[in-house]
Chain A
Amino acid sequence: MICKENPAKVHLTQIVGDKMQKVDLCEECAKKKGVNDPSAGFALADLLLGLGASQEIAQSSGGEDIKCPNCGFTGADFKKAGRLGCSQCYQTFADSLEGLLKTMHKGTKHVGKVPIALRHSRDLSERLKHLQKKLEKAVTAEDFEQAASLRDEIKAAKDQIEHLAPKLTP
């Protein structure tokens, strides 16, 4: 608490590197700091994602407001809401988000659960690479019989991937 008088109602968390700072404010202090007055231009993004988040968004967009081609969400909207417009926004605002994600999470790459359809397609593309290598070898060795059967297998794998594709383009 800042004033150490009234009970804290507004709690701010700031994450810098791997350190976390917490600020607890009572309603009055929060008002003084403009935290609970949206008209004062306080960004909810700062509240939700840590202080400085909105600045980072503004900086990385180079002053120009980027707009998501899928949902029309802008960097200014993100600054206001602290949330994104749609799943494609993660591509649209990738540059702005990179730094944020680093401070917010343990890593920047997902290592957890993967939908099974995607796991299949990963397996398939690995199989495809493997088959193509084998084909090259067969061709160099002039083993045309094996090359022909490999070509069939490759075609089948490609078909399967294409079949999965519409579901899997991010």
Chain B
Amino acid sequence: MTIHEFLSPPSETARRSGPHDRIVLSSRVRLARNLRGLAFPGWAKKPERLRALEIIRPAVESLPQLQGAFSETMDNLGPLDKQILVERHLISCEHMAKGVGSGLVLNKEESLCVMINEEDHLRMQALRPGLQLRQAWLAIDQVDSELERKLDYAFGPDLGYLTACPTNLGTGIRVSAMLHLPGLVLAEQINQIIASVNKLGLAVRGLYGEGTEALGNVFQVSNQMTLGEVETDIVERLNKVLLQIIEHEENSRAKLLETKPKFVFNQTGRAYGILANAHSITSKETMNLLSMLRLGVDLGEFPGADRALIDELFIMTQPGHLQKQFTEKLPADERDIIRADMLRERLRHVGRSNPKAPSSGGPALDKRN
């Protein structure tokens, strides 16, 4: 079975729902683990990497949680396969670059994904829609506890789980959530939020993690420190901060509607106008406009559109997913045309923006969720 056959169609993944998914797109907890004695993947020579893969892969495949999983070595995946996995946030950009000696095991629900020989021998992650950090932690903790019976982890009594990069040392945990924050961006409060989140020792990154842009107003918030704190404390701390960010986002949306409704409707209406009528559009512009359209849908502006449609388009219009539908390699400008064709087609039944003008009594926003 190829990865394309294995992955659920975007129409399905976009329908997965969870708490606060109006703002929180997904939650993730990943653990970094290594085998004792063997060189870390970045330093190991090929035979040693292969040895680690041979030890780890069967152990991972044997887990009850990963029965019927997709398991493949990275050299057996084509560039397009890998790009699609990155666009689905199932593997990291770093893992995309890996070949011989690296591997991937992914469960059917796409809620559990293990990267073998990424930066560390093992990078296992649990994913959940919406804000579900605790659930994600419990799931990955269980996987880890089962794996430690089969694998000889590199662990020191003082330093905890030993990782290739000292920034992951100790718990090896990275707890993160992807947030859609158009309100804070439009209200120009996002930098303030990022600064105060940074002050709490948490990192804010772009759509595809480390060193990437916040395309489509999507931000990733995660812990930075991994040593000297218990996993559950890290999870709870991030959870608390996320709830505050959600509140700030809702507040700035409400405030924008109250004080500058025309500004908001101009953004969402124009986004709809371009997306539903363009004949050529880049993926970057698409993401940024879809973000505005999603905001409009959240505000109940577009009859006939739901959030799942926008989220599906968000995935479908990315370069890899677009290319996947064609056998020959498309140049970027042709992709832009095909992308626009698809958007026009999919948005055909979405009615024009119909914002409720704020009445004299107060803001028109009713908090939908």
Contacts and interface: CB of A to CB of B under 8 A. Distances in A.
B319 to A, nearest CB: 19
B148 A110 contact: no
Contacts of B153: 115
A87 B34 contact: yes
Interface string B124-155: 00000000000000000100110011001111
A110 B166 contact: no
Interface stretch (A99-107, A128-136, A141-149, A150-158): A99-107
A116 B141 CA distance: 12
B330 interface: no
A86 B119 contact: no
Interface in A72-110: 73, 77, 81-88, 90, 97, 100-101, 104-110
A104 B141 contact: no
B165 A83 contact: yes
A139 interface: no
B40 A110 contact: no
B227 A105 contact: yes
Contacts of B36: 87
A49 B198 contact: no
A74 to B, nearest CB: 11
A111 B169 contact: no
Most chain B CB within 10 A, of A70, A77, A83, A100, is at: A83
A105 B169 contact: yes
A107 B156 contact: no
A90 B156 contact: yes
Interface stretch (B54-62, B228-236, B265-273): B228-236
Contacts of A116: 145, 148-149
Given A107-B229, A110-B171, A81 B42 contact: yes
A113 interface: yes
B260 to A, nearest CB: 26
Contacts, number: 126
Contact of A115 (B148, B199, B227): B148
A115 B229 contact: no
Interface residues of A, number: 38
B157 to A, nearest CB: 7
Contacts of A17: none
Nearest to A11: B211
B40 A85 contact: yes
B237 to A, nearest CB: 10
A38 interface: no
Most chain B CB within 10 A, of A87, A97, A104, A170, is at: A87
A32 interface: no
B141 A86 contact: no
B263 interface: no
B152 A48 contact: no
B42 A83 contact: yes
A87 B162 contact: yes
Contacts of A163: none
B342 to A, nearest CB: 28
A93 to B, nearest CB: 9
A117 interface: yes
Interface string B274-297: 000000000000000000000000
B216 interface: no
A85 B43 contact: yes
A40 interface: no
A109 B149 CA distance: 24
Given A110-B160, A167-B152, A49 B43 contact: no
B55 to A, nearest CB: 14
Given A87-B37, A105-B170, A170 B156 contact: yes
B155 to A, nearest CB: 6
8 contacts: A48-B165, A87-B40, A100-B166, A105-B225, A108-B228, A112-B170, A112-B231, A118-B155
Interface of B: 34-40, 42-43, 119, 141, 144-145, 148-149, 152-162, 164-167, 169-171, 173, 198-199, 201, 211, 225-231
Given A90-B162, A108-B158, 14 more contacts: A48-B165, A81-B43, A84-B40, A87-B34, A87-B36, A87-B162, A105-B228, A106-B201, A107-B227, A109-B227, A112-B170, A116-B148, A116-B149, A170-B156
